[in-house]
Amino acid sequence: MITYFDSSSIIKWFFDEPFSDLAHQARQESSVCVTSSIAFPEVLSAINRAWKDNRYSKSEMEGVRKEFLRVWSDFALVPVNETILNQTERQIFIHNLRSFDAIHLVSARLLRAKSDIPTFFSCFDRRLNQAAKKEEFNVHQFK
């Protein structure tokens, strides 16, 4: 199975948060882990915010940052290009998505269109998860 991970799912690999177990399970069950190139600054920003919000010490954050940089190369990346940007308009207005969320959904849709292997959409943002479900992706079931 191919799994498309948005940044809300990737960050759960590094922090003990609600539903981290689901993110880890999706990672373990995937033959290929895919994300958009925009996930790189999104995840780094989340790591920095956790430190700035005093959720973790600076040394803990440095360890998380280094581990993220190490696993980043394991991802197959969907680069943001003009095709993706042009298709975000539809996703933003149909599903009421934020900009980067629309990029993630369009990236996953293009990935699925190019593959014969089922694509799972791993996401923990409720609005984006609902949009992916409406786009007929298999998604996490969480409350």
Per-residue confidence (pLDDT) for residue 142, from 0 to 100: 80
pLDDT at 55 over 80: yes
**Quick one: what percent of the chain has pLDDT higher than 70?**
100
* Confidence band for 133, pLDDT divided at 50, 70 and 90: very high
Rounded Cα distance between 123 and 11, Å, is 10
* Confidence band for 94, pLDDT divided at 50, 70 and 90: very high
Higher pLDDT, 16 or 37: 37
pLDDT at 51 over 80: yes
Domains annotated on the chain, with CATH: 2-139 (3.40.50.1010)
Per-residue confidence (pLDDT) for residue 110, from 0 to 100: 96
For 98, the 3-state DSSP assignment is coil
For 20, the 3-state DSSP assignment is helix
Q: Which two tokens stand for residue 47?
A: 């790591």
**Quick one: what percent of the chain has pLDDT higher than 90?**
97
pLDDT at 93 over 80: yes
Per-residue confidence (pLDDT) for residue 78, from 0 to 100: 98
Rounded Cα distance between 57 and 67, Å, is 15
